[in-house]
Every structure is written in structure tokens, then in C-alpha cells.
Amino acid sequence: MKPADRILARRYARAYVLRGGEDPARAQSRLDALAALSSALSPLREEFDNPAVPQESKSAALEAARPAVGDEAVSFALVLLEAKRFGLLQEIAVQAAEALDAARNRIRVEVESARALDKAQAAELERAMSARTGMEVLASYTVRPELLGGLRIKAGDLLVENSVRGRLKRLKDTLREAGPKP
């Protein structure tokens, strides 16, 4: 996805999910409906991306989802369809979740490690990330043996690459740059 599309998706997401002074549970409900709509339409993604498919067919498919996901999500999707921005729906759902987390002073952190972290290590990592970001940390952990050792941490736009594999790659790149020039 192009950076401009990501920025546009973030704007749509904030407009859809964040409304001044609203109950967070209501915003979460709207987010859940948008995610459900995005999921329900996944099998039809090619149809929605195809400009040869008439707008009426796409609108009818959205209307068919109205009983399952509600009026707000479908109305929002119809606005996207009309503005020729429907391809951003999945990214908007992702950005909406991030916007709602930020409004609740939370951040989702993805941690990859070569071996499973024990509870004490996980708690220490979450405490350190919370101190660094100033937010409540919601961490998910994945074991990736190909990292060889160390960690790879992704929190929003921040990526901390501290794996042995990453260090070896940086060393290889440095040696290539310092090597003989043809």
C-alpha cells in the first residue's frame, strides 16, 4: 500500500471511530461492525476491485450485509464505494483499531523471539515498553526460531530489531560496503 493511501485510510478511520466525547464502548461497537464487514466481504474483494463490475452490484452486496453488521458500517462502506476508496476498507479497519487504542492510551506490541519468553521476561518487556511509550501495552508473542536469538519488537511505526539474525545481516551489509570496490 502506498504511504498516501495509508494516510488517507488513517483519516477515514479516525472520522469513523472517534467522535468527540463518545462512550468508548460505542466506538468499539462501531469498530467491531467495520471489522465484521471487512471480513464478510473478503471473498468478494476481486469483485469490488474490478472496475468492470457495476456500482449497483457492489452496492447490492453491501446492502445484503446490512442486517449482519448494521447501518453505520454499511453506510460508511457505501460512502467509500462512492468516493472510489473502497479498496482502503481493510486498512481503514486496521487504522481504526489503532486510533481507538490510542484514544484509550493503549498500544499493541508484537514481539517475536527465537524461543518462548517466560512470564518474568514478558512482564519486564511490557513494563519497559510501557515506560518508553507512556501507554498501556497489549503484547502478543510469537516464536520464530529463524531469528536465532534476541527479539524483534513492533509497536505501531516503531520496529526494534535486536535479533541475532538482524545483527548478522547488518554485519554482512557493513562488510560488503567496506569490501573492495570493483
With helix as H, strand as E and coil as C, how does the chain read? Answer: CCHHHHHHHHHHHHHHHCCCCCCHHHHHHHHHHHHHHHHHCHHHHHHHHCCCCCHHHHHHHHHHHHHHHCHHHHHHHHHHHHCCCHHHHHHHHHHHHHHHHHHCCEEEEEEEECCCCCHHHHHHHHHHHHHHHCCEEEEEEEECHHHCCEEEEEECCEEEEEEHHHHHHHHHHHHHHHCCCC
Find, among 135, 110, 112, 139, the residue nearest to 124 by Cα. Answer: 139
Higher-pLDDT residue of 94 and 25 is 94
| Each residue's pLDDT tens digit, 44-61 | 888 988 999 999 999 999
User: Residue 116: which pLDDT band, with cuts at 50, 70 and 90?
Assistant: very high
CA distances in angstroms from 79 to 86, 88, 157, 177, 178, listed in the order given: 8, 12, 28, 50, 54
The whole-chain average pLDDT of the chain stands at: 90
Q: How is the chain split into domains, by residue range?
A: 3-102, 106-178
In the structure, what pLDDT confidence band is assigned to residue 21 with cuts at 50, 70 and 90?
Answer: low
Q: What is the pTM of this model?
A: 0.74
Higher pLDDT residue, 70 or 179? 70
Per residue in 133-181, pLDDT tens? 899 999 999 999 998 888 999 988 788 888 888 888 888 888 888 877 6
Please give the pLDDT value at position 23: 77
- pLDDT score recorded for residue 165: 86
pLDDT at 182 over 70: no
Residue 15 pLDDT: 86
Q: What integer is the mean pLDDT of 103-131? A: 94
- Whether residue 96 contacts residue 31, with contact meaning beta carbons closer than 8 Å, is answered with yes
